Chains A and B, each alone.
Chain A
Amino acid sequence: MTEMKSIESRNLHPAMNLRSAPVILDVQHVSVDFVSERQTPAHAVMDLSFMLREGEMLGLVGESGCGKTTLMLSILRLLPAAGRIVSGKIDFFERDLLDLTEAGMNDIRWKNISIIFQGAMNALNPVRTIGDQIKEAIVVHFPRTSKQSLAERIDELLEMVGIGANRKDQYPHQYSGGMRQRAMIAMALACNPQIVIADEPTTALDVMVQAQILELLDNLRHKLGLSVILVTHDLGVVAEICDTVLVMYGGVSAEYADVDSIYNDPRHPYTQQLLKAFPDLSRPKDRLIAIPGYPPQLNALPPGCRFAPRCPQVFERCNIEQPALYQLGPFHQAGCHLLSAS
Chain B
Amino acid sequence: MSAAPILQVKNLRKLFPFSSEGIVHRTYTYVHAVDDVSFELGQTEVLGLVGESGCGKSTLALTLLGLETATGGSIYFEGEDITHLKGQPMKELRRHIQMVFQDPYESLNPLMTIGDIVTEPLKVHGLGGDKREVASRVNHALEDAGLNPPEIYKNRFPHELSGGQRQRVVIAGALVLEPTILLADEPVSMLDVSIRAEILNLLADLRNTRGISVLFITHDLATAAYFTDRVAVMYLGRIVEIGPTLEVLNNPAHPYTKALLSVIPVPNPRQRRERIILSGDPPNPVNLPPGCRFHPRCPSAFERCLQDDPINFDLGEGHSVHCWLHDAPVSASNRV
Residues of A near any B CB (own CB < 8 A): 1, 4-12, 63-64, 176, 178-179, 206-212, 215, 233-240, 259-260, 263-264, 273-282, 284-292, 294-295
Is the CB–CB distance between A281 and B299 below 8 Å?
Answer: no
Residues of B near any A CB (own CB < 8 A): 52-53, 162, 164, 192-198, 200-201, 219-223, 225-226, 245-246, 249, 259-261, 263-281, 283, 296-297, 299
Knowing A4-B279, A263-B267, A284-B249 are in contact, say whether A9-B274 is a contact too (CB < 8 A): yes
Interface hub of B162, B200, B264, B297 (most chain A Cβ within 10 A): B264
Please, which residue of chain A has its CB at the minimum distance from the CB of B278?
Answer: A208
Is the CB–CB distance between A288 and B269 below 8 Å?
Answer: no
Is the CB–CB distance between A212 and B198 below 8 Å?
Answer: no
Is the CB–CB distance between A279 and B249 below 8 Å?
Answer: no
Residues in B whose Cβ lies below 8 Å from that of A234:
193, 265
Q: Give A207 to B53 CA distance when docked, in angstroms.
A: 10
Question: Which residue from A63, A206, A288, A292 sits with its C-beta under 8 Å from B53?
Answer: A206
Question: Which residue from B194, B225, B270, B297 sits with its C-beta under 8 Å from A260?
Answer: B270
Please, which residue of chain A has its CB at the minimum distance from the CB of B50?
Answer: A207
Residues in A whose Cβ lies below 8 Å from that of B200:
288
Please, which residue of chain B has its CB at the minimum distance from the CB of A216?
Answer: B277
Residues in A whose Cβ lies below 8 Å from that of B283:
1
Q: Give A279 to B197 CA distance when docked, in angstroms.
A: 8
A-B residue pairs, 5 tightest by C-beta:
A236-B265, A290-B198, A288-B197, A211-B263, A290-B197
Is the CB–CB distance between A11 and B272 below 8 Å?
Answer: yes
Question: Which residue from A210, A215, A278, A287 sits with its C-beta under 8 Å from B267?
Answer: A278
Is the CB–CB distance between B223 and A4 below 8 Å?
Answer: no
Q: Give A288 to B220 CA distance when docked, in angstroms.
A: 15
Q: Give A288 to B195 CA distance when docked, in angstroms.
A: 10
Q: Give A295 to B52 CA distance when docked, in angstroms.
A: 31
Question: Which residue from B192, B275, B296 sits with its C-beta under 8 Å from A211?
Answer: B275
Please, which residue of chain B has its CB at the minimum distance from the CB of A280?
Answer: B267
Interface hub of B220, B222, B269, B271 (most chain A Cβ within 10 A): B269
Q: List 12 A-B contacts (CB under 8 A).
A: A5-B278, A63-B192, A211-B263, A233-B193, A239-B272, A240-B269, A277-B193, A279-B225, A279-B226, A280-B267, A285-B226, A289-B197
Residues in A whose Cβ lies below 8 Å from that of B194:
63, 273-274, 277, 290-291, 294
Q: Give A55 to B97 CA distance when docked, in angstroms.
A: 53
- Taking the closest CB of chain B, its distance from the CB of A294, in whole angstroms, is 5
Residues in A whose Cβ lies below 8 Å from that of B196:
277, 288, 290
Knowing A10-B275, A12-B272 are in contact, say whether A208-B52 is a contact too (CB < 8 A): yes
Residues in B whose Cβ lies below 8 Å from that of A9:
274
Q: Give A176 to B273 CA distance when docked, in angstroms.
A: 27
Is the CB–CB distance between B268 and A264 below 8 Å?
Answer: yes
Q: Give A1 to B294 CA distance when docked, in angstroms.
A: 11
Residues in A whose Cβ lies below 8 Å from that of B263:
207-208, 210-211
Q: Give A289 to B193 CA distance when docked, in angstroms.
A: 11
- Taking the closest CB of chain B, its distance from the CB of A38, in whole angstroms, is 19
Question: Which residue from A208, A240, A287 sits with its C-beta under 8 Å from B266?
Answer: A240
- Taking the closest CB of chain B, its distance from the CB of A161, in whole angstroms, is 13
Is the CB–CB distance between B277 and A208 below 8 Å?
Answer: yes
Residues in B whose Cβ lies below 8 Å from that of A286:
226
Is the CB–CB distance between B52 and A207 below 8 Å?
Answer: yes
Q: Give A282 to B222 CA distance when docked, in angstroms.
A: 9
Q: Give A278 to B235 CA distance when docked, in angstroms.
A: 26
Residues in B whose Cβ lies below 8 Å from that of A289:
197
Please, which residue of chain A has its CB at the minimum distance from the CB of B222?
Answer: A279
Is the CB–CB distance between B249 and A236 below 8 Å?
Answer: no
Q: Give A3 to B233 CA distance when docked, in angstroms.
A: 23
Q: Give A6 to B278 CA distance when docked, in angstroms.
A: 7
Residues in A whose Cβ lies below 8 Å from that of B296:
1, 4
Interface hub of A1, A6, A207, A263 (most chain B Cβ within 10 A): A207
Please, which residue of chain A has its CB at the minimum distance from the CB of B165?
Answer: A294
- Taking the closest CB of chain B, its distance from the CB of A308, in whole angstroms, is 15
Q: Give A275 to B296 CA distance when docked, in angstroms.
A: 37
Question: Which residue from A176, A236, A240, A274 sits with its C-beta under 8 Å from B281?
Answer: A176
Is the CB–CB distance between A8 and B277 below 8 Å?
Answer: yes
Is the CB–CB distance between A236 and B222 below 8 Å?
Answer: yes
Is the CB–CB distance between B259 and A208 below 8 Å?
Answer: yes
Q: Give A295 to B163 CA distance when docked, in angstroms.
A: 11
Residues in B whose Cβ lies below 8 Å from that of A64:
192
- Taking the closest CB of chain A, its distance from the CB of B240, in whole angstroms, is 14
